Structure 1
Protein backbone atom coordinates (compact mmCIF):
# COMPACT_ATOMS: atom_id res chain seq x y z
CA UNK A 1 0.00 0.00 0.00
CA UNK A 2 1.24 3.46 -0.79
CA UNK A 3 0.52 6.63 1.17
CA UNK A 4 -1.78 7.63 -1.70
CA UNK A 5 -4.03 4.65 -0.85
CA UNK A 6 -4.36 5.73 2.75
CA UNK A 7 -7.21 8.08 3.59
CA UNK A 8 -6.48 11.52 5.11
CA UNK A 9 -6.01 11.53 8.90
CA UNK A 10 -9.10 13.70 9.64
CA UNK A 11 -11.26 11.14 7.83
CA UNK A 12 -9.67 8.28 9.75
CA UNK A 13 -10.74 9.93 13.00
CA UNK A 14 -14.32 8.98 12.13
CA UNK A 15 -15.84 5.60 12.87
CA UNK A 16 -16.32 3.16 10.01
CA UNK A 17 -18.88 0.37 10.17
CA UNK A 18 -19.47 -2.55 7.85
CA UNK A 19 -23.06 -3.65 8.40
CA UNK A 20 -24.20 -6.99 7.04
CA UNK A 21 -27.59 -8.61 7.34
CA UNK A 22 -28.54 -12.12 6.28
CA UNK A 23 -31.88 -13.47 7.37
CA UNK A 24 -31.28 -17.17 7.83
CA UNK A 25 -28.48 -19.63 8.57
CA UNK A 26 -29.14 -21.16 5.14
CA UNK A 27 -28.33 -17.80 3.49
CA UNK A 28 -25.03 -17.67 5.35
CA UNK A 29 -24.17 -21.20 4.24
CA UNK A 30 -25.39 -20.89 0.65
CA UNK A 31 -24.18 -17.38 -0.20
CA UNK A 32 -20.44 -17.94 0.09
CA UNK A 33 -19.69 -15.25 -2.52
CA UNK A 34 -21.57 -12.70 -0.42
CA UNK A 35 -19.62 -13.71 2.68
CA UNK A 36 -16.31 -13.40 0.82
CA UNK A 37 -17.19 -9.92 -0.41
CA UNK A 38 -18.21 -8.84 3.10
CA UNK A 39 -14.78 -9.81 4.44
CA UNK A 40 -13.16 -7.98 1.53
CA UNK A 41 -14.94 -4.79 2.63
CA UNK A 42 -13.39 -5.11 6.08
CA UNK A 43 -9.98 -5.78 4.52
CA UNK A 44 -10.27 -2.70 2.34
CA UNK A 45 -11.02 -0.59 5.39
CA UNK A 46 -7.89 -1.92 7.08
CA UNK A 47 -5.80 -1.23 3.97
CA UNK A 48 -7.09 2.34 3.91
CA UNK A 49 -6.03 2.94 7.50
CA UNK A 50 -9.09 2.18 9.63
CA UNK A 51 -8.56 0.02 12.71
CA UNK A 52 -11.02 -2.65 13.75
CA UNK A 53 -12.46 -3.53 17.13
CA UNK A 54 -15.15 -5.90 18.30
Structure 2
Protein backbone atom coordinates (compact mmCIF):
# COMPACT_ATOMS: atom_id res chain seq x y z
CA UNK A 1 0.00 0.00 0.00
CA UNK A 2 1.79 3.12 -1.20
CA UNK A 3 0.50 6.64 -0.82
CA UNK A 4 1.29 9.49 -3.19
CA UNK A 5 4.44 11.32 -2.15
CA UNK A 6 2.62 14.64 -2.08
CA UNK A 7 0.09 13.28 0.40
CA UNK A 8 2.89 11.97 2.63
CA UNK A 9 4.69 15.32 2.55
CA UNK A 10 1.51 17.18 3.44
CA UNK A 11 0.88 14.85 6.34
CA UNK A 12 4.48 15.24 7.45
CA UNK A 13 4.15 19.03 7.28
CA UNK A 14 0.90 18.99 9.28
CA UNK A 15 2.49 16.80 11.95
CA UNK A 16 5.61 18.98 12.20
CA UNK A 17 6.08 21.09 15.34
CA UNK A 18 7.02 24.18 13.34
CA UNK A 19 5.18 25.65 10.39
CA UNK A 20 7.73 25.39 7.61
CA UNK A 21 7.16 25.04 3.90
CA UNK A 22 7.45 21.64 2.26
CA UNK A 23 10.42 22.93 0.25
CA UNK A 24 12.32 23.82 3.43
CA UNK A 25 11.66 20.40 4.94
CA UNK A 26 12.77 18.60 1.78
CA UNK A 27 15.93 20.71 1.68
CA UNK A 28 16.79 19.90 5.30
CA UNK A 29 16.06 16.21 4.69
CA UNK A 30 18.31 16.18 1.61
CA UNK A 31 21.12 17.84 3.56
CA UNK A 32 20.86 15.21 6.30
CA UNK A 33 20.96 12.40 3.74
CA UNK A 34 24.00 13.94 2.04
CA UNK A 35 25.78 14.30 5.39
CA UNK A 36 25.04 10.66 6.23
CA UNK A 37 26.31 9.53 2.83
CA UNK A 38 29.56 11.47 3.30
CA UNK A 39 30.05 10.06 6.79
CA UNK A 40 29.50 6.46 5.70
CA UNK A 41 31.77 6.96 2.66
CA UNK A 42 34.53 8.29 4.94
CA UNK A 43 34.15 5.30 7.27
CA UNK A 44 34.44 2.86 4.37
CA UNK A 45 37.51 4.69 3.05
CA UNK A 46 39.13 4.46 6.48
CA UNK A 47 38.42 0.72 6.69
CA UNK A 48 39.93 -0.12 3.31
CA UNK A 49 42.98 2.13 3.46
Q: Shared fold by TM > 0.5?
A: no
Name whichever structure is richer in helix by fraction: 2
What TM-score do the two structures reach when normalised by structure 1?
0.37
Q: Which has the larger radius of gyration?
A: 2
Greater relative CO (CA pairs within 8 A, separation 6+)? 1
What TM-score do the two structures reach when normalised by structure 2?
0.40
